[in-house]
Homo-oligomer: A and B are copies of this chain.
Amino acid sequence: MRGPGFGWGRMFRGWGRRMTVPRREILEVLTSGAKHFSAEEIYLEVRRKYPGIGLTTVYRTLEILVQAGVVSKFNFGDGRARYEFADTDKKNHCHVICSNCGRIIDCENLSGEVDFEGVIRKLSKKLGFKINGYHLRFYGLCEECKNK
**A interface residues (Cβ-Cβ under 8 A, vs B):** 73, 75-77, 81, 96, 98-99, 105, 107, 110, 113-115, 118-120, 122-124, 126-143, 146
CA separation between A135 and B135, bound complex, in Å? 8
Interface residues of chain A: helix, strand, loop or mixed (majority):
mixed
Contact present for B129 and A133 (CB under 8 Å): no
Contact present for A138 and B130 (CB under 8 Å): no
Known A-B contacts A107-B127, A127-B107; the reply to A138 vs B134 at CB < 8 A is: yes
CA separation between A142 and B127, bound complex, in Å? 8
A21 to chain B, nearest CB (A): 29
Known A-B contacts A107-B123, A114-B119, A129-B96; the reply to A136 vs B134 at CB < 8 A is: yes
